[in-house]
Structure 1
């Protein structure tokens, strides 16, 4: 979030100097996807327990939204990872209509387009409670979106949820 402020300041300085062509590609490449990270429930309610039976990893989730006004997007091949390299790849077809979203949940469960949910089928937590960076990539490799959060700086109400895009 601070990086956006820095990017805006650098972009403004470059525009003043007449160097806009240098600033546009890096910023445009990062956010050129219709799919973006909407928000993350990085701290599952209750005491963290990654037991597959009775644990609460399913209550930790990442929401991805299709911000396009007219394009349906298939998530197959997209992947997310955290700052330490934990990774999840969407291996099945999951289509998002314009304005639609999907929750990528921890734990085990049955994926459902109708219920807008995909399970990682892994009972370990992926997002770190004190803070993390979430990277979201297109199947072809370029970054679709990226966001960092900290519990202290990004979650003023302390509910374990951070929203990135409106």
Structure 2
């Protein structure tokens, strides 16, 4: 009987916002910003394609290995990281077009746009396929802070 009363009281307190409910652990690397509408006309030039990017941020102080991590859109277009380490409190930008990969910029190598200007969702997936983070937007503006 006492357990039942305590459970009822806890449920009521939670419903009233008086008791904290534990949240799922946030991913150490998260989608910080998506620039889905590159500046100027959509000409499919490499410069225009690289104006479309996703910024990932390592919110911890520990370096994270991203090998096998995937960045995907609603359609299923997928960028998969090869061996890559993201240092603590640093960002990496994943550009749609071609370019030289380095510690802060990675290039998908596509010749067509990935992120829809009218609305889309960017998914960040762990190598095992589990969702690490996501960011959705509508047609407002040209970028979205997540």
- Which range, TM-score by smaller chain? 0.7 to 0.9
TM-score under structure 2 length normalisation:
0.82
- 1:47 corresponds to which of 41, 44, 49: 41
Question: What CA RMSD, in Å, does the superposition of the two structures yield over aligned residues?
Answer: 2.5
- Figure out how many residues of one structure are paired with residues of the other and give that number: 135
Structure 1 gap ranges (5+): 1-11, 153-157
Identify the residue that residue 163 of structure 1 maps to in structure 2: 145
Question: What is the alpha-carbon distance in structure 2 between the residues aligned to residue 146 and residue 66 of structure 1?
Answer: 15
Q: Which of 46, 54, 62 pairs up with 1:62?
A: 54
Q: Which runs of 5+ in 2 are unaligned?
A: 1-10
Q: Does 1:16 align with 2:15?
A: yes
4+ aligned runs moved over 3 Å, structure 1: none
Q: What secondary structure sits across from 2:123 in the alignment?
A: strand
Task: Give the greater-gyration-radius structure (CA).
Answer: 2
What SS does the corresponding residue of 1:133 show, helix, strand or coil? strand
Per-residue Cα deviation, 1:60-93 (whole angstroms, up to 9, x for no partner): 100000001x3210111100111111111112x2
Give the secondary structure class of the aligned counterpart of 2:100.
Answer: coil
SS at match of 1:56: helix
User: How far apart in 2 are the matches of 1:100 and 1:139?
Assistant: 21
Partner of 2:133: 145
Change (3 A) 1:13 1:127: farther
TM-score normalised by length of structure 1: 0.73
- Deviations, residues 97-155 of structure 1 (Å, cap 9, x unaligned): 11100000011111011xx0000011211100011011101112211101110123xxx
Secondary structure at the residue paired with 2:50?
Answer: helix
